[in-house]
């Protein structure tokens, strides 16, 4: 029996449109001669819309059909056949943060990517950095706080940030990716403005101390025995790699492989695997690092569902490591099935 892949895309998230880009790319690259592909669009309200089985290529008009669908379905429609794998192509909250992963665990379905723990901890930058610190991974200094602390005493929050960190700092929603809601602050006035904007996207905020460094990234795939790609470097033409640089301007340079020594590459790879295991990642992740002028390596963050178009960093890293885009998709499906089979060894009764 052919394996059926349910592609989940869209989602109730500020990264909804990024997910659409990812979904379109995967739909046009997945091997339809090997898999039955079932698109499932999740709208901005969180309702699920089931499209017809995929046939041929997908263009923007086809994506618009999914977005205009009226009738919604229950997520329980995922469990229709025996040979099924779910591929969540969701970025941000309500998709990449462990919520959908928890649902798929309850439905006992194999799915591509990280489990509940890695997804939730990887999405929340404050929790993620706490785990990295526990694992002994070097990182930039930071301060985290919640909306209520800000509303109760803004002056105290600002004072704590200024006593702990040096300007410039970067203010981020703790639970978003794709650089949504991120701003650089060089003084108190800009800090307050940046926090005000970030609080529109999350109730938890992280402020990180700026560092003069190269931005390098590495791809990781695997379950119990993760493998690493070559290292890539981001050279944004703007002051930092923001949402517009990533998805709108298209003029950010991605250098693959990055010009780093073997020693630097080996250190980045070791740190990436250590972080991957500390979060209990599975399937895939992109690990982001800073490389300072004195060759100090600082881990920045993990992305448990990285941008996945053919021109995104993660697939390009693997293409330059000998694994092309369609083969990468196939590998991730195989890893999902492998991990699901591993879970069948777990006992759930005392009988």
What is the tens place of the pLDDT at every residue in 104-131? 999 999 999 999 999 999 999 999 999 9
pLDDT beyond 60 at 22 = yes
Most confident of 16-30, 66-80, 244-258, 263-277: 263-277
What is the tens place of the pLDDT at every residue in 252-310? 799 999 999 999 999 999 999 999 999 999 999 999 999 999 999 999 999 999 989 88
For residue 234, what is the domain's CATH number? Answer: 3.30.470.20
Contact 215, 241 (CB under 8 A): yes
What pLDDT is attached to residue 250? 55
Domain boundary among 160, 192, 209: 209
What pLDDT is attached to residue 251? 60
What pLDDT is attached to residue 175? 86
What is the tens place of the pLDDT at every residue in 212-264? 999 999 999 999 999 999 999 999 876 654 545 454 545 679 999 999 999 99
What pLDDT is attached to residue 81? 66
Catalytic residue among 13, 120, 178, 229: 178
Active site residue 84: no
Domain boundary among 192, 209, 226: 209
Enclosing domain of residue 80: 3-111
What is the tens place of the pLDDT at every residue in 135-180? 999 999 999 999 999 999 999 999 999 999 999 999 999 987 656 7
Measured CA to CA, the distance from residue 70 to residue 344 in angstroms comes to 38
Place of tokens 């349910």: 6
> Do 155 and 244 have their domain in common?
no
What pLDDT is attached to residue 230? 98
Active site residue 312: yes
Summarize the confidence of residues 73-92 as an average pLDDT: 86
Which run of H or of E encompasses 142?
strand 142-146
Question: Binding site for ATP: what residues are annotated?
Answer: 125, 170-172, 178-179, 208-215, 300-301
Q: Is there a domain that residue 258 lies in?
A: yes
Q: Are strands 84-89 and 3-10 parallel, antiparallel or unpaired?
A: parallel
Question: Binding site: what residues are annotated?
Answer: 125, 170-172, 178-179, 208-215, 288, 300-301, 303
What pLDDT is attached to residue 66? 86
- Number of domains into which the chain is organized: 3
What pLDDT is attached to residue 241? 46
What is the tens place of the pLDDT at every residue in 36-55? 999 999 999 999 999 899 99
Q: Is there a domain that residue 320 lies in?
A: yes
Catalytic residue among 13, 15, 84, 245: 15
Question: Binding site for Mg(2+): what residues are annotated?
Answer: 288, 301, 303
Q: Is there a domain that residue 59 lies in?
A: yes
Q: What is the 3-state secondary structure (H, E, C) of 188-237?
A: HHHHHHHHHHHCCCCCEEEEEECCCEEEEEEEEEECCCCEEEEEEEEECC
Per-residue DSSP letter, 269: H
> Do 33 and 107 have their domain in common?
yes
Summarize the confidence of residues 184-189 as an average pLDDT: 97
Active site residue 225: no
> Do 11 and 46 have their domain in common?
yes
Measured CA to CA, the distance from residue 56 to residue 160 in angstroms comes to 56
């Amino acid at each position: 029996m052919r394996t059926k892949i349910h592609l989940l895309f869209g989602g109730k998230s500020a990264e909804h449109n990024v997910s659409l880009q990812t979904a379109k790319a995967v739909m046009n690259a997945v091997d339809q001669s090997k898999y039955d592909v079932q698109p499932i669009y999740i709208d901005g309200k969180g309702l699920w819309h089931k499209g017809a089985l995929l046939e041929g290529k997908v263009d923007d008009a086809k994506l618009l059909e999914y977005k205009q669908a009226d009738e919604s379905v229950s997520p329980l429609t995922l469990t229709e056949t025996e040979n099924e794998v779910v591929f969540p192509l969701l970025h941000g909250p309500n998709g990449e943060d462990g919520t959908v992963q928890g649902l798929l665990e309850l439905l006992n379905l194999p799915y591509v990517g990280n489990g509940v723990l890695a997804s939730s901890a990887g999405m929340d930058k404050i929790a993620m950095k706490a785990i990295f610190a526990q694992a002994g991974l070097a990182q930039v200094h930071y301060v985290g706080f919640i909306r209520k602390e800000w509303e109760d005493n803004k002056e105290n929050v600002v004072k704590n940030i200024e006593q702990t960190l040096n300007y410039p700092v970067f203010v981020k929603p703790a639970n978003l990716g794709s650089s949504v809601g991120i701003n650089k602050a060089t003084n108190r006035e800009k800090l307050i403005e940046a926090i005000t904007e970030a609080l529109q996207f999350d109730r938890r905020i992280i402020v990180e101390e700026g560092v003069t460094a190269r931005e390098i990234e590495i791809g990781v795939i695997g379950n119990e025995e993760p493998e690493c790609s070559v290292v890539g470097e981001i050279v944004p033409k703007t002051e930092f790699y923001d949402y517009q640089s990533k998805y709108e301007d298209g003029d950010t340079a991605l250098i693959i492989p990055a010009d780093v020594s073997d020693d630097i590459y080996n250190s980045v790879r070791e740190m990436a695997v250590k972080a991957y295991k500390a979060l209990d990642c599975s399937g895939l992740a992109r690990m982001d690092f800073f490389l300072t002028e004195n060759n100090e390596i600082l881990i920045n963050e993990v992305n448990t569902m990285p941008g996945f178009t053919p021109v995104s960093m993660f697939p390009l890293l693997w293409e330059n490591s000998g694994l092309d885009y369609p083969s990468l998709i196939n590998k991730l499906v195989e890893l999902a099935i492998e991990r699901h089979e591993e879970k069948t060894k777990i006992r759930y009764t005392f009988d």
